[in-house]
Amino acid sequence: MLGGPAATYRALMHPLMHRHHDVGCDSTEAALQAIAAAAGATDPAALERRDTHMSVVLLSRDRAYKVKRAHRFAFADHHRRAARRWACLEELRVNEELAPGIYRAVHAVVPAGDGFRLAPVDDPAAVEYVVEMERFDEATSLRGRLAQRPDDRSPIRRTAATIADFHARARPIRRPGRAAMAIADEKRRLAAEDVELTGVLPGPHDLRRLHAIDRRLRTFLRDAGEELAARGRAGLVREGHGDLRAEHVLVGDDAVRIVDRIEFRPDLREVDVADDLAFLVMDLTALGHPEAARELVTAYRDRHGDPGSDALLAYYAARRALVRAKVALLRDGAAGGGDAAREEARQLLDLAERFAWRTHGPLALVVSGPSGVGKSVLAAALAERSGFAVRSSDVVRKRAAGLAPEERGGSALYAPGSGPRVYAELGRQAAAALTRDGGVVIDATCLRRADRDALMLELEGWQRSVFHVACTAPAAVLEERLRRRALDPTRISDATPAVGRAQASIAEPLDEVPADRLLALRCDRPPAALVAAVAAGLDA
């Protein structure tokens, strides 16, 4: 080991006084040669290599060596050697608290005969710099633990406790204490990310989606200014980690250690503790572990951490997903090509959109209208975009009769007076989904006031969370859709054209629903356009 954390960080205090000569070799390649020599390898290709958009990492049997790329990004400038030296030393310093014993030293890369070697960090002949780390078993990361035992919640609870304790002792950062200033400050951050992501998104469809997400997040900020300001006044903006991901959390038998704290820009780790935690919430969800994400938040609160409202966490998680989408497109020059990176970015846009829907707070979307109007298609599209579950009156009715959703039922299913019982059970299922997931899509005709009253009675306490989408379509469209649907053996609804015509005579107006909680929507348009109309109606 060529110097420890304290010695190498003291070297940062001394300005670089030397101008380095061109050694006729790319400095990153020089560093890789020096690393290979230190690891006893004749060629860097003999070592395992990991590439990110900002670094190259070589792995030996017991060490990891990181080299900063000599690039200039919108969010970090490493094109100068002095900047890379500073970033290496800063990485050593900022990770000492959460990852003790992992970050070993920073080395200079200097010429040595026909090649290069590692030397003390203040060597004046340096052409590059390298961070040396202990290599850790990736199976012990939170990502690895969940892959092995997804139902084991102990690693999640231990991680939450470690993060909550870290946040409690982290340095507070002053933030605006007035709502208008807090909103403006957050909008500047959001705008900066939008500009960078807009510059690398591959197509107009993705840009339209980004703009819709951005509108929802800005609408949330309009309504959340006081919560943001109150958190600033309470000292909940702190010098956190900045890059909390499951692969960075190492869950050992004796302790939880967290690596890769952001070093290159202090402001990216000087964030609301909810923002810091939301990165891991987003990452766990992206990895297919939403239950683990919920457990993380619960355990963080149990440890006396304050992540704010669920809507605030969703806002920050959406923004973090957008950041990761940008990183995916920047990696390996993927903006100009790279199908895998574009697909990853689109999946992250999907995730950002689902979290953006959750910024409404608890939300029950009641998609109603006569049979054949297209409400089930719209409900499914809303569920796909929001991540909310669908609860259908047709499914509830058939299950109560012991039938599978695709089985055909007789007229007894629709006997007079049966509606309120079905809608009461529908309401109970919807309330359970709201409690668990924070959102639900309810697919039901809702033609009779008595049925709607039974539904809303079970949603008592959630009234301000309910938003009605009243679907309409011309009579000829309804008739044709019901005729075609009757030929589909996989259909759930048993409604025929005759049933559709009969419904028109019993429909009662939705005059009990407040105007600001009701959207009338003509549904003879593509589902994507209808989802966009619902989203715009909610943001009005």
User: Could you tell me the pLDDT band of residue 340, with boundaries at 50, 70 and 90?
Assistant: confident
Token pair belonging to 156: 């999640």
- Segment of 118-122, 481-485, 488-492 carrying the highest mean pLDDT: 118-122
Residue of higher predicted confidence among 362 and 407: 362
122 has a pLDDT exceeding 70: yes
Q: Which of 432, 507, 449, 440 is nearest to 467 (CA)?
A: 440
Q: For residue 130, give the amino acid letter.
A: V
Mean pLDDT of 458-467: 94
Token pair belonging to 484: 């075609």
Token pair belonging to 407: 């089985």
Superfamily of domain 363-527: P-loop containing nucleotide triphosphate hydrolases (3.40.50.300)
Q: Which of 276, 266, 269 is nearest to 300 (CA)?
A: 276
Angstrom distance (rounded) from CA 359 to CA 310? 8
- Distance between first and last Cα of the chain: 61
Q: What pLDDT was estimated at residue 487? A: 66
Q: What pLDDT was estimated at residue 52? A: 82
Q: What pLDDT was estimated at residue 161? A: 98
Query: Taking the model in full, what pTM does it have?
Result: 0.87
CB 442 within 8 A of CB 366: yes
486 has a pLDDT exceeding 70: no
77 has a pLDDT exceeding 60: yes
Mean pLDDT estimate for the chain: 88
294 has a pLDDT exceeding 80: yes
491 has a pLDDT exceeding 90: no
**Domain covering 142-358 in this structure, CATH number:** 3.90.1200
Mean pLDDT of 174-186: 86
192 has a pLDDT exceeding 60: yes
User: Could you tell me the pLDDT band of residue 44, with boundaries at 50, 70 and 90?
Assistant: very high
Token pair belonging to 100: 């003790």
Q: Tokens 């055909």 belong to which residue?
A: 408
- Residue 57 has phi, psi (to 5 degrees) of -120, 130
User: Could you tell me the pLDDT band of residue 203, with boundaries at 50, 70 and 90?
Assistant: confident
Q: What pLDDT was estimated at residue 3? A: 40
Helix, strand, coil shares, percent, the chain, to 5 = 55, 15, 30
User: Could you tell me the pLDDT band of residue 492, with boundaries at 50, 70 and 90?
Assistant: low
User: Could you tell me the pLDDT band of residue 341, with boundaries at 50, 70 and 90?
Assistant: confident
- Residue 120 has phi, psi (to 5 degrees) of -55, 150
pLDDT digits (tens, 9 = 90+) for 18-27: 333 333 348 9
β-pair type (115-120, 237-239): unpaired
- The rounded percent of the chain whose pLDDT value lies above 70 is 89
Residues 81-100 as b/e (b if ≥16 CB within 10 A, e otherwise) read: bebbbbbbbbbbbbbbebbe
The residue extents of the domains of the chain are 5-135, 142-358, 363-527
User: Could you tell me the pLDDT band of residue 330, with boundaries at 50, 70 and 90?
Assistant: confident
User: Could you tell me the pLDDT band of residue 103, with boundaries at 50, 70 and 90?
Assistant: very high
Q: What pLDDT was estimated at residue 414? A: 66
